Structure formats: structure tokens, C-alpha cells
Structure 1
Amino acid sequence: MDADLADDLVAVCRAVALLLPGGAAFSHLTAARLWKLPVSAAAEQRQELHVTGAGADRVLRTPRVVAHRGLGAAEVTSTKGVPVTSPGRTWRDLGAVDLAADGHPVAGVEPDHEELVVLTDALLSCHPLTDLPRYGLRPRDLVSIVRSIPGERGVGRLRRALAEASTFVDSSMETRTRLRAIASGFPRPVVGADLVGPDGAWIARPDLCWPQVRVAIEYDGASHVSRSRLGSDTARREAMERYGWRSVVLYATDVGARWWVTCERLREAFALQGCPDPARIPPAIRALERPRIVGVPL
């Protein structure tokens, strides 16, 4: 292999795939990376490749390859020209993997649990225009997987992650914001809802919101820095204000290094909307269809 391609995961997997027996596929964190799932920075830097073989035999005993066994034919597919475990099987395998680097919990959320919820949200995510599942998975599919592997290593972690997962999440930072807000005493928010006017005209789609008090969280990542995007974001938030909504805009440092300051901003937003005790609001139920909130102008 060309030395320039040594750090190219797809190129490396294509080379290694030439040595794999039939029915084997890349799995675990290697599969997650091939599927472009949002693995942690620590996981992204790991050099080993995970491969699972069919039946009881392990495959390809080499220093860089971590071999597993027990893969069913229906659990193998391909992406980028290499055999890989299906999204559902990849999720099942990730339950037994250490996903986070050693770190301190934020707002009491364990890092490894947070990473697994991030991956679960990503696997349940939908295309923003069609709401069709990106990976062909619905919550019921993950429930079926958990029920099919009682006693398997990692099943408890998968069950806990699924209990806190949400559909209609657009980024890993939205997941982290939601988990940390809930752990900090805020009720579970509505995720990815469409806010429309009385005539059905679309107004906005806040990342997280509490419709009872008209408070929303908007996470602004790198894609929001262009002048045109900033202009559309501002117009959308002004439209929300005309309907009595208050938006709390967050950036990466607000979710990570400044979380407790962010909590105070959220509490202030609730208080300004007439709710000094956010815990009194009932938690949102995870929606199977994208929520739709009809706004009433002030």
C-alpha cells in the first residue's frame, strides 16, 4: 500500500478486505467510522481495526486487527466498497466498547454513556426534508435488538442509551446539550420540532424546546458562521420572538467548558417566561413523528 494512504481508513480497509474470509466484515468502532457516525476524538485516533467473522471462527490474527466471531449473514452489508456490519449490528457491538477517553462527567453525565447516546441518536437520525431514517433504523428496531440479546455483554449499556435517545437530532452537540440539561434538572425537551403559524406557515425548527414556556435552545456549530447563514438564523429567531419565544443560543464552549454558566442562562430564560422552577414542567415524550407546534403571535 502507498505510504500516503496508511492513515486513510477506507484505503486501509480495502487492502485488509482482500485477506478476509467470506462472510467477515469490519465491525465495532471500525464500522462506526466507516458509517461516518460521530465517534469521539479518542475513538477516532485508535489504530486497531475490528473485524467479525461468520460462525465460531476468528479471522485474520494480526497485531493491528482485533478479531471477533459470531456474525450472521443478514448482519453484513457494504459501504465504500468494503464489507461492514449493518447499522443495527454495529450499534449492538458498540455496547461493549469503551467509547470515551478518561474524563470527568459533565453535569453528572458519564462520558462513556454520553458517547453511546450520541451514536444512538445518530443511528436514529432522519433526513431533514423527508424525515426518512438515514440508516434505516427506527426506535422499535433497536428495541428488538436489545430484546434479542439478553445477558450479552453491553446490553445494559445499550438499554440505558436507548432509554435516553431521541429521533430528529441533527448533531452530536445537540445530544450532549440535551443530556446535560436533563441531568441539570431541566425536563426532557422536545427535539427537532417544527414551529408553524396558525395558518400552517413554517416559522422555525429549534434544536430543543419547551413549548409550555416557549423556551428554545439553538446550537450553532461551524456551519452557522457564514454571512448568509447568520442572516437566516437571525431572521428565524426574530420570527420566533414575534410568537413569544425566547431562544438561548449555544456554542461549543457553552456546552463544554461553560456548562454551569449555560445552566444559569437557561434558568433565567425560563424565569423570564414566567417559569421560575423548570422542574415543574412535565418531560416531553419521545416522538415517533416529527413534532409540530402551532404558535400564536403576540
Structure 2
Amino acid sequence: MPRPPRPLPAPLTWGPFTVSEARGHGVSESRLRAKDLSAPFRGVRAPGRLDSVIELCTAYAARMPESQYFSHLTAAQLWGFPLPRALEEPLPVHVSAVAPAREPRMKGVVGHRGVSGAGIRLLLGLPVLAPAETWLQLAPFLGIDDLIAAGDRLFKWRDHLVTRDELDEALQRMTQQAGIRKARAALREVRQNSNSPRETKLRLQALRAGFPEPELNGEISLPNRKRTWGDLVYRKWGTLMEFDGEQHRTKLRQWNRDVDRLNDLVEAGWLNTRVRKDSQDHLERLDRNLRRRGWRPGLR
């Protein structure tokens, strides 16, 4: 029966470390090759397996010089931008280097030249490209609707990452960025206070079908001094459109609250178009509800 590996020195047990650090603590080469350690990047070891983008970035940061920072798809994942599933893989890690330093080249890393004057933020203790510049870097990777959904994340309801001025300044700095025309086109359709990519896609569907611009997560007054918020609110016509999430059916407490809320909306005179994951007729229902309140195509 093989012997278990010798315990690591205490300072190396809390997370990723460099090979040179381990040697400084007297750790042997054979111990660094033991199966209880992973080697996510050249010159780095970590206790156990690393699977998430945060774990991998923390591992790379153990050997990261001050001239480098996380960017592109990696920065987007760290900031919580919605991405297509195919782009959510934690590897490779995207890293940019500030001139005159050269971009990194090693297995598991995609190196880039840094953006001149780019803002770098500390996020979870990691140097990460600022969210406005990160969004602009997504343009070559995403289709226009996914780019709009990512742009809405910048101004998410109750969780804005940037101000409009910060985004405009990033646009001025990054005029040579690949996909800048697509980013400018997407920006014209980015809105404040969306709460999810599904809301973004629903809004785009409705607008492209000729319906008026909705208010996103607008506050609605209910009887007995209650208040709630609607996903897409057409206040002028007393109509809203909302997603019916899984929790409405699987959690009894949530279901009860939702029934009470719907009754309150009806009592307050609102018409509500509920949208399920597999809904096909929600735009027809929205059309009927809006027309009941006097809307006609062309009215805004």
C-alpha cells in the first residue's frame, strides 16, 4: 500500500503556491509531483483540483507579475457577465500585459497586449480589467443579442457595475478595439434596470415586434399600501409582462406569495402577461392586453 504524501509546510496548505516558494520551505521535487497536488500552470501547485474560474485565477495570481491583469472572457466571468454556455469554460485563462511587458505564453493561458490607459480593479483580491472595458472586449466573441444582454448587466437593477459616463470614457479609449462597431450598435439597445438575460431577450422580442418601450422592473403601487415590481411594465396602459420562474411551482411559500401578488395586481387594475420558459404565444397575449387598454401599433 503506497504511503500518503508527507504533509506540506503550513504556509502552503491554504491555497495555490509557486514552486519556488515550496523549494524555499524545503519541499522536495518528488513531493511537488505527488498526486494530491494539481499543477494548473507552469511553476504553480495547488492542494486538490481546481475547477472554477476564481480558483484558477487565484492559482495563476500566485505567479502573476504586476504588469499583468485578467481580461476578456475571464474578466467577464469574474464580473458576472452572462455568457453563452460554450464560453463559460474556466480554461484557458485570459491575461493581458501592460506594455512594455510581453503577453504571457504558456499552457492554459491566452495572452493579450494590454489596453493603453485601461482601468484595473481589484476583484476578490485579483487584478481585473474594469467592467466597461471588459464589456467592449466581448464584442468579437458574442452575437449582437448576447452582447446587449451583457451590456444590460453593466446597469443591472439594483446592482450597477458602471455609470454611463464610465462606459462612454471606455469607448473613447478603445476606439481600435476589435468589434467596436458591433459594441456601439449594441449600446444603442442596452437599457438600465434589466434583471436577467431572459428579461433582455424578452424586451428585444417585444420591441422588434413593434410594441412600445417598457419600463424595466418598474415599481407598482398595490392596495393596502403594498408595492411590487414588474419585469416589463407598460405603465401608460396598465399592463406588464413577466417571467414565471421555476420557483413559482416548486416552492410552496413562493407560490403563495405569488398568488397573493397576482390577486393584488388584478385588484389594482393591472393586466399581466405571464411568460413560461417554453411560451410561444406571449407576444400575442401582450398584444391583446395592450389593445384592451387602448394601445394601437405606432403608439409609444
Q: In the alignment, what sits opposite 2:255?
A: 230
Superposition pairs of residues 134-173 of structure 1, within 5 angstroms: 134-135=160-161, 137-173=162-198
Residues 222 and 35 (structure 1), Cα distance of their counterparts in 2 relative to 1, 3 Å cut = farther
Q: In the alignment, what sits opposite 1:281?
A: 299
2:278 and 2:89 map into 1 onto residues whose CA distance is: 22
Measured against aligned partners, the alpha-carbon deviations of 1:197-219 in whole angstroms (never above 9, x if no partner) come to 699x3432101021222110111
1:37 and 1:267 map into 2 onto residues whose CA distance is: 32
The CA RMSD measured in Å over matched residues stands at: 2.3
Name the larger-Rg structure.
2
Say which structure, 1 or 2, has more relative contact order (CA 8 Å, 6+ apart): 1
Residues 139 and 253 (structure 1), Cα distance of their counterparts in 2 relative to 1, 3 Å cut = farther
Superposition pairs of residues 77-226 of structure 1, within 5 angstroms: 77-95=121-139, 97-99=140-142, 112-127=143-158, 133-135=159-161, 137-196=162-221, 201-225=225-249, 226=251
Q: In the alignment, what sits opposite 2:68?
A: 24
TM-score, length-scaled by structure 2 = 0.77
The AA in structure 1 aligned to 2:50 is: A
Q: In the alignment, what sits opposite 1:44?
A: 88
The AA in structure 2 aligned to 1:281 is: L
The AA in structure 2 aligned to 1:11 is: E
1:280 and 1:197 map into 2 onto residues whose CA distance is: 30
TM-score, length-scaled by structure 1 = 0.77
Question: Quick check: 1:195–1:204 contact (8 Å CA) kept in 2?
Answer: yes
The AA in structure 1 aligned to 2:175 is: P
Measured against aligned partners, the alpha-carbon deviations of 1:78-124 in whole angstroms (never above 9, x if no partner) come to 223322112122122222x313xxxxxxxxxxxx1111111111111
Measured against aligned partners, the alpha-carbon deviations of 1:194-253 in whole angstroms (never above 9, x if no partner) come to 112699x34321010212221101113334442222222222222221222100111222
Shift, 1:151, TM fit? 4.3
Question: Quick check: 1:192–1:207 contact (8 Å CA) kept in 2?
Answer: yes
Question: Quick check: 1:203–1:240 contact (8 Å CA) kept in 2?
Answer: no
Q: In the alignment, what sits opposite 1:291?
A: none
How many residue pairs get aligned? The number is 255
Question: Quick check: 2:97–2:104 contact (8 Å CA) kept in 1?
Answer: no
SS at match of 1:241: helix
1:241 and 1:198 map into 2 onto residues whose CA distance is: 10
Question: Quick check: 1:56–1:69 contact (8 Å CA) kept in 2?
Answer: no
Shift, 1:35, TM fit? 1.7
SS at match of 2:113: strand
1:265 aligned onto 2:285 = yes
Question: Quick check: 1:20–1:59 contact (8 Å CA) kept in 2?
Answer: no
Measured against aligned partners, the alpha-carbon deviations of 1:1-57 in whole angstroms (never above 9, x if no partner) come to 538523222121112222322131111111111122221212113632111111244
The AA in structure 2 aligned to 1:241 is: V
Q: Which runs of 5+ in 1 are unaligned?
A: 100-111, 128-132, 283-298
SS at match of 1:38: coil
2:155 and 2:160 map into 1 onto residues whose CA distance is: 7
1:6 aligned onto 2:44 = no
1:187 and 1:61 map into 2 onto residues whose CA distance is: 50
2:151 and 2:120 map into 1 onto residues whose CA distance is: 19
Shift, 1:193, TM fit? 0.9
Identical counterparts, % of pairs: 27
The AA in structure 2 aligned to 1:8 is: S
Q: In the alignment, what sits opposite 2:25?
A: none
Q: In the alignment, what sits opposite 2:20?
A: none
Residues 56 and 83 (structure 1), Cα distance of their counterparts in 2 relative to 1, 3 Å cut = same
SS at match of 2:237: coil
